[in-house]
Structure 1
């Protein structure tokens, strides 16, 4: 249900030329905060994500062949709060319509493959000539020009090139992919930050500009937070699995019915943990009495903690450490537990999805995890069918008459 409350980005129009996830997630956030997002897709097919299983239709959610009334669950999640139009940018008429929309927009967000906007004639320089005030944001896999020409920037490729995989996993195991497409999700968040900053600058000066974000740059900047270069020189492995030895004890430990995460590097937390596991003498042991030596001897300390946690059920470990002693400790929850947490639904971090024809469905989608005191915002408009907003945008915003729009449709331009 669309809220009547004003939103932070009311009055901002975004021309959305994004595909897949790194890009659509950015326009999703902008739409949730109130921007009018006009999503441009190719006639006849649209974003490849529209073919992602599972599908939702009259027969419910399934992983079979897509039927005529089926919609990808991916689209129901990522295309909310957006108006879908179709437009063939390879045609001269299509490019002119796009430029007319760009003249009336505040932001253009794109994440097309390197060089594509130039080939299509909708690159920053050409758009800026038509609208000097526009904020033109680009999310690229490895920058533009790319340091790896021709290489497709899928999330796993970025995780590999950024070093993220090499620092994830056990020291004696292989590099490990993060379980979520983290590069695809992080880069658009940086892009949104850049867009909002550029809009503030435009508000002061009237000047638009280009905002560029590289998925590889984003993930590499995160890598530098942990000083792996210094630790490698000291002989520490890059991968430490479920433990963070610099902050030992800090890790994930087995219980009789699951796992718990424990953090106890502060002196009072350390004392509480060691008393709980029956090893108070460790407080005076030179191996563990201060953080420097403790890092060198983290494996021995972790073994002692795991021996104790593995003798108890998760709830008892959490109660003993956190409730009774104030040591940060939490159960490792399974995804289904988290997706069913009413508190996360109440906060807006999670929300149930809805099919535009069949209503609510049994699937959880991303919420907007930002709470505003004066301008409540959320993804409350269901995903639109491909080209569903053609009449609204071309007929209403661009004032094209029925005959003109019909001719464009007949020619395959829209």
Structure 2
């Protein structure tokens, strides 16, 4: 995509108070869409994610202790297209500087623990006093006020409370953590939707507002989409493992050299599948011919299919089912294969990170899966060093003199 194209959120300024993953991923998306995202970080080290190994420095990439000059690979990933200023929000001068920035901003974005924003006096009520048009976006673990005020919103904790662990894994098996930090990754998608909607509404009304997302709410709303209450009452287990019985055949089947995912619940697909495995007699059997009864006999159907797939390679299965018969089927790929997929790199869904300390080793990072025909929406600027944008923002935007900047730095305000 041409870099000369404009960006959808050009002219939107975001003050980013977020840390860890959920908030920084949300602000990363806004930055990729063209917003000017200014990370406001503590002068004594910044975002806690800056200390996440592995690190990149003079010794290349390593998992040892962080050394001067090292940067976390996490930061190289999540801080792209952003600016970084340092600011002690606990100090009087730091708070005053922040409120001056608020007057120049469109969005304030935070994911502090409950009560922290109020303690720092950067909560919505105070920020709105400085700028009534501000969009104040928050990600909280359990809402605010929370019914679990002593509980930290770590992804695995949210997963545990959401019910998602009890519907993941094999029937009868132990609760299983989702393989990715799903609460941390889904909640920013919802809050970015809320921010964009609030900006559109402000364009009509001229008024700002608070946009709040709970990580637990996000996962619970997804869990509710599967009607587990109804299915449980009908006698079906909460966990479905690699199969979805109500859509049988729908699942992951072992092959000679791996596994394949097959979806064949429609009459046409089912007819094609049983034709290939030589079991067209199932089409005449009331237990298997249609979806409703077949759901009750899913184990037998899946066993028949897998007995056949185990005798073939994944390539043979995909060729026969997908290429020749049009039945949705795909080989199960490893994450490493996906991260090296040239098509995904070309589309920008994943991309390589460049850094002098990496040399030829360029690890894969998150790209922006949003594609637009007349806009540039990619991450094309490297992560800044801590406080790298102090002079640009404080000197350029707030018009502070060089002497004022030196004084603020000597006092530990920035």
TM-score w.r.t. the length of structure 1 is: 0.98
Structure 1 gaps, min length 5: none
Counterparts of residues 307-318 of structure 1 (less than 5 Å): 307-318=307-318
CA contact (8 A) 2:59 2:357 kept: no
Tell me the secondary structure at the aligned position of residue 252 of structure 1.
strand
Distance in 2 (CA, whole Å) between partners of 1:3 and 1:104 is 27
Q: Is the 8 A contact 2:242 2:252 kept in 1?
A: yes
1:168 alignment counterpart: 168
Which residues in structure 2 correspond to 1:6-405 (within 5 Å)? 6-355=6-355, 361-405=361-405
Deviation (angstroms), 1:101: 0.4
**C-alpha separation between the residues in 2 aligned to 1:337 and 1:358?**
21
CA shift in 2, pair 1:140/1:67, >3 Å: same
* Cα distance in structure 2, aligned partners of 1:294 and 1:245: 8
Aligned mates of 1:281, 1:56 — CA distance in 2:
61
Decide whether the 8 Å contact of 2:60 with 2:359 is kept in 1.
no
* Rounded Cα–Cα distance in structure 2 between residues aligned with 1:83 and 1:396: 13
Q: Is the 8 Å Cα contact of residues 353 and 360 (structure 1) preserved in structure 2?
A: no
C-alpha displacement at 1:2, in angstroms?
10
How far did residue 69 of structure 1 move? Answer: 2.0
Structure 1 residues 29, 288: CA separation in 2 closer, same or farther (over 3 Å shift)? Answer: same
Superposition deviation, residue 91 in structure 1:
0.6
SS in 1 for 2:362: strand
Are the structure 2 counterparts of residues 39 and 361 from structure 1 closer, same or farther at C-alpha, using a change threshold of 3 Å?
Answer: farther
1:360 Cα deviation from its structure 2 partner: 6.9
2:311, 2:269 → 1: CA distance? 21
Q: Could you say if the C-alpha distance between residues 21 and 360 of structure 1 is closer, same or farther in structure 2, counting changes exceeding 3 Å?
A: farther
Structure 2 residue matching 1:23: 3-state secondary structure: helix
Partner-residue secondary structure (3-state), 1:178? coil
SS in 2 for 1:213: strand
Question: Unmatched 5+ residue regions in structure 2?
Answer: none
Matched position secondary structure for 1:28: helix
Q: Distance in 2 between matches of 1:305 and 1:172?
A: 22
**1:47-95 CA deviation, whole Å, 9 max, x = no partner?**
1111111111222221112221211111000000110111111111111
Contact 1:271 1:280 in 2 (8 A): yes
CA contact (8 A) 1:274 1:282 kept: yes
What's the offset of the Cα at 1:254?
A: 0.4
| CA deviation after TM superposition for structure 1 residue 359, in Å | 7.2
Task: Work out the CA distance in 2 between the residues paired with 1:360 and 1:119.
Answer: 46
| Per-residue Cα deviation, 1:164-206 (whole angstroms, up to 9, x for no partner) | 1110000121111111101101000100000000000000110
Q: Secondary structure at the match of 1:362?
A: coil
- Judge which range, 332-341 or 354-363, deviates more: 354-363
Q: Is the contact between residue 56 and residue 357 of structure 2 (CA under 8 Å) also seen in structure 1? A: no
Change (3 A) 1:181 1:240: same
Alpha-carbon separation, structure 2, partners of 1:370 and 1:4: 18
Give the Cα–Cα distance (whole angstroms) in 2 for the partners of residues 312 and 71 of structure 1. 47
CA contact 2:321–2:329 (8 Å) conserved in 1: yes
SS in 2 for 1:330: strand
Number of equivalent positions: 414
Q: CA deviation at 1:332?
A: 0.4
* Structure 2 CA distance for aligned equivalents of residues 362 and 354 of structure 1: 6
Question: Is this contact kept in 1: 2:61–2:358, CA < 8 A?
Answer: no
Of 316-325 and 64-73, the range deviating more from structure 2: 64-73
